[in-house]
Amino acid sequence: MPNIGDVRVKIDLIRKMGGEITFEGNHCSLNMGQVTDSNPDLELSRKIRTAPLLAGPLLARRGYVEIGRPGGDAIGRRRLDTHLMALKAMGAKIEVGEYSYSLKADKLRGCDIFLDEMSVTGTEQAILAAVLAEGDTTLSNAASEPHVQELVECLNRMGAKISGVGTNTLQIQGVTSLHEASYCIRPDYMEVGSLIALAAATKSSIRIAEACPADQRMTRIMFGRLGVRWTDEGGDIIVPADQELTVQADFDGAIPKIDDMPWPGFPPDLISVAIVLATQARGTVLIHQKMFDRRLFFVDSLIEMGAGIVLCDPHRAVVVGPTQLMGKRLISPDIRAGMALVIAALAAQGKSVIQNVNQIDRGYEQLEVRLQALGACIERRRD
């Protein structure tokens, strides 16, 4: 399990509720037998997006829970409606407060649920509640990202009965209890995609070991529109150095588009690094980010570095490259934009200083240490 900021906050949340957790290296052991009746700490909950996912398990376990409004990245409104509608359909009564939601359920009951959007965390919430609900649940319009698939696989190993993994319809047979199990987490496909972009933007070669290449099929298509190429060798991905980054026009000669969409489409979390990569490719490309209304605002920093970017509106940017980026003092607004700024700084001429790096630490483990091992001139300062 990665030793990243969001994981550490989640561990603190569970420990404050009475859970026993040991975390050594990349191995984590959890014993939830002594979880008390206390609700998740609201102050800690505000730090991460996934804190509300405690609602489903705690409702199933004890019939009530109070959860805080979601925290995490400042990339626009982070609605919980999909979570709450799924829990309400299974029998939860919900009260909305200024800073939190209170949920009660005498008993969760399985039912037919059609999610209003393919929300990853909304899907995970419904799964976590349905596995211990009475009866069967059909979950349609469900997200199917790799980490959703892994949640299903882990729960099935613990005694859940879930079918349809990898599809947008899940069949869940409620069970009375779960048992202990061991599970090994797959590579983070967003981190792998970020490293591919890093190598290409800095014209460097890299071998990403045990990278699960099958998870990068759409990234290969989208990055391919910028001229990026790589090869697979077993479970490794090999990005060659000095690639000729040239925007590949559509067959009719039109300017191509890189846009995000639900899995197996291009991940929204790779849009930020794709923009930086586009600044180093010859030609013009349209970047269309559909989900969040503030995710693209970090391009102001890239423009200050010399990037040829026109921000059309909160969701679309036109990038014209290549441009020589220049080092600047920057601020990381969120996890993925922070990683994008690291890539931009390494591709830039001169020195850059990136502040608010705790945002990057939330999703990338010891990033500067691993980049130093690759030869990057990067260091962490405490001043």
> pLDDT tens across 300-347, in order?
999 999 999 999 999 999 999 999 999 999 999 999 999 999 999 999
Residue 48 has pLDDT above 90, yes or no: no
Chain-centroid distance, C-alpha 84: 21
Are 95 and 197 part of one and the same domain? no
**Sequence-separated (6 or more) residues with CB below 8 Å from residue 293:** 75, 76, 77, 314, 315
The reply to whether 383 falls in a domain is no
**Residues with a known catalytic role:** 73
Are 116 and 200 part of one and the same domain? no
Q: Please check whether residue 355 is in contact with residue 330, taking contact to mean a CB–CB distance below 8 angstroms.
A: yes
Are 169 and 37 part of one and the same domain? yes
* Mean pLDDT taken over the chain: 93
Environment class of 175 (CB within 10 Å of its CB; exposed 0-12, middle 13-18, buried 19+): middle
Angstrom CA distances, 255 to 111, 280, 374, stand at 46, 16, 34
pLDDT tens-place string over residues 248-302 = 999 999 999 999 999 999 999 999 999 999 999 999 999 999 988 888 999 999 9
Residue 377 has pLDDT above 70, yes or no: yes
Distance (Å, whole) CA 360 – CA 366: 10
Q: Average of pLDDT values for 1-8? A: 91
The reply to whether 240 falls in a domain is yes
Residue-level pLDDT at 25: 84
Q: Among 122, 142, 173, which residue terminates a domain? A: 173
Residue 53 has pLDDT above 70, yes or no: yes
Tell me the pTM: 0.92
Are 163 and 253 part of one and the same domain? no
Provide the CATH number for the domain around residue 51.
3.65.10.10
Q: Among 173, 202, 219, which residue terminates a domain? A: 173
**Domains in the chain, number:** 2
The reply to whether 378 falls in a domain is no
- The whole domain housing 129 covers 5-173
Residue 37 confidence class, pLDDT cut points 50, 70, 90: low
